[in-house]
Amino acid sequence: MKNVKLIPVIFLAIALIVGCSQGNKKQTSEKKDAKEVQQQEQTAPNTLTAEEKADGWELLFDGKTTNGWRGYNKESFPEKGWVVEDGTLHVLGSGKGEAGGGGDIITEKKYGNFELELEWKVSEGGNSGIFYLVQEKPGQAIWKSSPEMQILDNERHPDAKLGKDGNRAAGSLYDLIPGKFEAVHPAGQWNKVKIMVYKGTVVHWMNGEKILEYHLWTDDWKNMVKNSKFKDYPDFMNPASEGYIGLQDHGDDVWFRNIKIKEL
């Protein structure tokens, strides 16, 4: 009789164990699904995560249109030389350097203190650049007023070996401060950059690595510019405190995506 009375107790214990196990599996599955959704949200091109939105980030390129951009010294976006394809903003190679294609493009809005992030991929032997604090003046080339983070195929383009100590290689403050060759992915692969500008302090990152820092308007800045190709350009010697973000058409195929900015 004692054994008979134990049977319902044993079944109840088994049921509780099975129920707990299924509940744990369900919770684990729900957590896994939530994590996968979060990872997909984080990796989807040209989107912002909920965390980024809450932190003040804004997209500068939606992956589908050229909204928010126009040609430098133009009222609208270039009719040729740039296309939106496969979620990228693609400058088409013309083989004519700065003289060909659709020309440089800039944001419609000016920015002062900010963090800018984007990804770029360059064709073999390709050259381009990211401008910031751009001053738009008729008849004046974009590079005569604004610092430039160089975009380059370091392995093939001769600019990587010109200049001084690699200050024309990818990631560099063009013709002024070298970047780091080892931080740059080769042609055909995506590179992720971040540029911070805050009250004169400027920092470049490449693929998660800080590669250079400098300080605008200081004596060090002025002395550096005096010894460079920019010495004869007053707008470069004394940069504005705010300006446009620009992307360069240097006649080579370059792709951009995940362009976003946070004002500081």
As a whole number of angstroms, the distance between CA 104 and CA 126 comes to 15
Is residue 171 within 8 Å of residue 212, measured between CB atoms?
yes
**How far, in Å, CA of 148 to CA of 133, rounded?**
9
pTM over 0.85: no
Q: CA 147 to CA 88: how far, in whole Å?
A: 24
Closest among 151, 245, 154, 237 to 196, alpha carbons compared: 245
CA dist., res. 238 & res. 83, Å (int): 34
Rounded average pLDDT per 10-residue block, the chain, 264 residues:
50 50 54 50 84 97 98 96 97 80 95 98 96 97 97 92 90 95 95 98 98 98 96 97 97 96 98
200-214: b (≥16 Cβ within 10 Å) or e: eebebbbbeeebbeb
Q: What is the pLDDT of residue 96?
A: 74
- Alpha-carbon torsion, ordered 28, 34, 35, 38, to 10 deg: 180
